Structure 1
Amino acid sequence: MTQDHGYPVLWPVPTRWADNDHYGHVNNVTYYSYFDTAVNAWLISATGTDIRDLHAIGVVAQTSCKFLGSISFPDMLRVGIRVSRLGTSSINYELAIFRDGGDHLDLAATGTFTHVYVDEQTRKPVPIPAVIRAAAEPLVVAGPAES
């Protein structure tokens, strides 16, 4: 897939049978699971590290989702990932969920996701681990977030 649709990473995420609700489409809360899965799977892949073993953990401090289209099992998805802000102890991600149509992507949702890095024991904010920062830096985009 050659187009990035403004997102440097397009992480594959399959829908699951259990994702569909009574109305035959993926339930709204599941979109947040796709965001979480894509960001953390990408972090593990990009860093070559099991992020659960780092001295600091990324906790989700804020998340949002704007629903733009319906998806359902067995759709294959691509979650677009980019960084709108890379702070001292937090990373703001901008995300998009696309239905993968093979030769094209259909936008189904956009959202945000903020990781705040905290000490594993004290839960006090700490600097972003160097390996995470190095992976996130290439994803930083300039300009305001898409609506």
Structure 2
Amino acid sequence: MTQPQPYPVLWPVPTRWADNDHYGHVNNVTYYSYFDTAVNAWLISATGTDIRNLHAIGVVAQTSCKFLGSISFPDMLQVGIRIARLGNSSINYELAIFRDAGQSLELVATGTFTHVYVDEQTRKPVPIPAVIRAAAEPLVVAEATGS
């Protein structure tokens, strides 16, 4: 299987029975759940820590999705993750959802996802925790385009 470029991480996400809507395909709002699941699961894996226990939490400030194809249960997906911008208190992710077709990946959606790190108590912006910054830095892609 060839890895799509330039997404340095591909995170597996299965579709679920409940993801399909009345029309027999995955409902549009579910794509945002796939983005959220892939980014946070990757963060937990890459940092080796439970990100829910950090002094700062990443809240989603903005997200978008461009639909390019249809998916349906029981499709297996790969979510491509790269970082377009790593700021002081925010991370701008660019994401892609691919249907895993065995020997190839079919692009079905692209999107953006912005985490802003805030103090868990005051909800005021704070610097990105060091453990998250260290995990995120290798995913910054100079040619990220703002999908």
User: TM tier, shorter chain?
Assistant: over 0.9
Structure 1 unaligned segments of length 5 or more: list them.
none
Would you say 1:71 and 2:55 are equivalent positions? no
How far is 1:6 from its partner? 1.3
Q: Deviations over 1:9-36 (max 9, x none)?
A: 0000000000000000000000000000
Structure 2 unaligned segments of length 5 or more: list them.
none
Matches within 5 A, 1:1-147: 1-145=1-145, 147=147
How far is 1:8 from its partner? 0.3
Q: Deviations over 1:88-113 (max 9, x none)?
A: 00000000000001110000000000
How far is 1:66 from its partner? 0.1
How far is 1:146 from its partner? 5.1
Residues of 2 paired with 1:16 and 1:129: CA distance? 32
TM, length-normalised to structure 1: 0.97
What is the RMSD computed on CA atoms of the aligned residues? 0.9
Residues of 1 paired with 2:34 and 2:22: CA distance? 19
Report if the CA contact (8 A) 2:2-2:104 is conserved. Answer: no
Percent of aligned pairs with the same amino acid: 88
Residues of 1 paired with 2:2 and 2:121: CA distance? 43
Q: How many aligned residue pairs are there?
A: 147
